[in-house]
Amino acid sequence: MKTNKIMDEIRSTISPEMKMQMELTVAIANRIYSILETKGMSQKEFARLMGKTETEVSRWLSGTHNLTIATICKISAALNEDVIRVANYSYQPVDEYEPMVAAEPSY
C-alpha cells in the first residue's frame, strides 16, 4: 500500500481519543449505510423519512459528521434498527412510552 508522507505525519499527531472518535464516527456511518442497503432504501428516501435534506444525510453517511445521541436515537427509531449497540440495551419499538424509573440508590 502506498502511503502519503504528509498524511502519515498528521496521523502521528492525533490523540488516541481523537482517533477513536474518528473511527467510531465512520463505524456509525457505515452501520447506517448498511441498514439502508439491507432495507433497499436510498439516501433520498432516508432523508425524506427523517425530514432532512439529502445534503445533511450525505454528511451523516460520510463519516465526518458528529452525530448526537438524540439524532442516533431518531435514526434508530425511523429505521426500526439499532444503529449502535451498547451492552444490555437494544431498541425496542413501543406503541406507548412507559415512564422511566430511576434505580434506587444502594447505600
- 13-41 pLDDT, tens digit per residue, is 888 888 888 888 989 999 999 999 999 99
Neighbouring CB atoms inside 10 A of 89's CB total: 9
Assigned CATH topology for domain 16-79: 434 Repressor (Amino-terminal Domain) (1.10.260)
pLDDT of 13 reads 85
CA atoms within 13 A on the CB side of 75: 25
Model pLDDT for residues 87-96, shown as the tens digit of each residue: 777 667 766 5
The phi, psi pair for 91, rounded to 5°, reads -65, 130
Query: Cell numbers 451523516 correspond to what residue?
Result: 60
Helices (H), the chain: 5-12, 16-39, 43-50, 54-62, 69-79
pLDDT value of position 91: 66
The percentage of the chain sitting over the pLDDT mark of 90, rounded to a whole number, equals 50
Q: Which amino acid is at 42?
A: S
Q: Which helix (H) or strand (E) holds 90?
A: none
Q: 101 pLDDT exceeds 70?
A: no
